A and B are shown apart, each in its own frame.
Chain A
């Protein structure tokens, strides 16, 4: 009989899922399972799975390079995570900032993090959003943040193209739209207007390749609607990222098929960005471990379900933020249809003088990977003496990457059950809180107690 003793890997801090009081938390390993264990003297013991199997939890973690925010106006009061906006204890600047342009939504999702108002509510004016953009450019360091227009469902606003245009005019280099895609499918003129306004990419909710997945998670959305949205994006050269929320028992068996689907729509589809389900909102009972898929399981399932076309070794932790939160991989499909990794070879090894911070690199990585190169883009020939060199094969290679390159990325959000404050302090995704004019780390903003009380999100206060 095999008996493996549980042992502690590390200690951190978390919250009580019932009263949101700060607790000591133990990260413990039992064979290949890594869990968080914490005890509230009033509400009892809580145990949540964090990591299952290979790649190994300890080996996966690497030292990341973080750039503490210079703009951290909050004075310490109760400490992390109660003091967010970004405070002086936060270790990382934002890569992407979410700006919620409406709280209205046309879906009734079972897994939404946003506290969508059921009743009609007032959207912020375009002038107010313009002021937010100005403020964000002002407080960005080095290079303006990437922006995600979020909600609610942003496409319920008819003036969304004007909002995008105002952001571009304020100097934001990258603006992506988080959407369920319904309006993009039904209103081609709207897609065209968004493109003309300067929208960089569409972050398309895309949970699977069969209708039952959407019926389960979203109520009504159909796959053909998603396809139509992507086709309209293709028509107007809007790069699209497929964003599946992975829920065990619902769509985790479709990971490979989602990737195969993405490959059929290159180069419009720029990549797949997986999001393992998190549990926000009312959960009177702790979600069971079987209701969670952990980051290494996503990595393994990608290899298994693509029959090794995408390999585990080609999916790597990010160099910035916290390595437990995400992974990325860059690939190209070659002429013969084989998928080749662009990111596993470790570079040329030359020592390059550091010119930009890792967070700026991360912002640029997103822009480069998810924006679609225009077919009208000026072709190569930036070299003053280019007429002396024959670049035919070089250009063919670069075009191959533009037209057949894609990324596979993943971000594991935290909820009240598995929240690790040491991870939270390195969070590089922030929400702009319109009430306080503060940037609040994404996971902190959306944390809710088991009865649905929010730590930060205003409508639940």
Chain B
């Protein structure tokens, strides 16, 4: 059972100044779509990609898809 993603650090959107909220998003990369629950701004919809995800799983997928 996955722990529910929460905005424990109180991250806010720099543009809208509102707290980010967990939201189901679809990340599309080179014609492949990957679902994920990430923190996003409820107003402007901007999604926050944490560093550990960007440098972990996301990079792994990029390398696999792109021969990086």
Contacts and interface: CB of A to CB of B under 8 A. Distances in A.
B43 to A, nearest CB: 23
Given A345-B31, A348-B29, A348-B30, A385 B52 contact: yes
A345 B30 contact: yes
A385 B30 CA distance: 25
Nearest to B34: A394
A348 B66 contact: yes
Contacts of B46: none
Give the most central of A330, A368, A387, A389: most B CB within 10 Å: A389
B23 to A, nearest CB: 13
Nearest to A389: B36
A390 B60 contact: no
Q: How large is the interface on A (under 10, 10 to 19, 20 to 34, 35 or more residues)?
A: 20 to 34
B61 A388 contact: no
Interface in B21-68: 29-32, 34-38, 50, 52-53, 56-57, 60-62, 64-68
B5 interface: yes
Contacts of A383: 52-53, 56-57
A387 B3 contact: yes
A389 B5 contact: yes
B57 A347 contact: no
A283 interface: no
Contacts of B34: 393-394, 397
A347 B30 CA distance: 7
A384 B52 contact: yes
Nearest to A383: B56
A347 B32 contact: no
A347 B31 CA distance: 10
A394 to B, nearest CB: 5
B57 A389 contact: yes
A390 B57 contact: no
A385 B35 contact: no
B64 A347 contact: no
Q: In terms of DSSP, what is the predominant structure of the interface of chain B?
A: mixed
B62 to A, nearest CB: 7
Interface string A350-363: 00100000000000
A382 B32 contact: no
B30 to A, nearest CB: 5
A368 B34 CA distance: 23
A387 B68 CA distance: 26
A436 interface: no
B60 A398 contact: yes
A401 interface: yes
Contacts of B57: 380, 382-383, 386, 389, 391, 394
Contact of A390 (B36, B56, B62, B68): B36
B60 A342 contact: no
Contacts of A394: 34, 36, 57, 61
B15 interface: no
Contacts of A393: 34-35
A347 B36 CA distance: 21
A382 B2 contact: no
A252 B57 CA distance: 42
Contact of A348 (B38, B50, B60, B62): B62
Contact of A382 (B36, B37, B56): B56
B35 A330 contact: no
Nearest to B56: A383
Contact of A388 (B2, B29, B64): B2
Given A348-B30, A382-B57, A387-B3, 16 more contacts: A330-B67, A348-B62, A348-B66, A352-B68, A368-B67, A380-B57, A383-B53, A388-B2, A389-B2, A389-B37, A390-B35, A390-B36, A391-B57, A393-B34, A394-B34, A398-B64
Interface of B: 2-3, 5, 29-32, 34-38, 50, 52-53, 56-57, 60-62, 64-68
Closest 7 A/B residue pairs (Cβ)? A383-B56, A345-B30, A347-B66, A388-B5, A383-B52, A401-B64, A394-B34
Interface of A: 330, 342-343, 345, 347-348, 352, 365, 368, 380, 382-391, 393-394, 397-398, 401
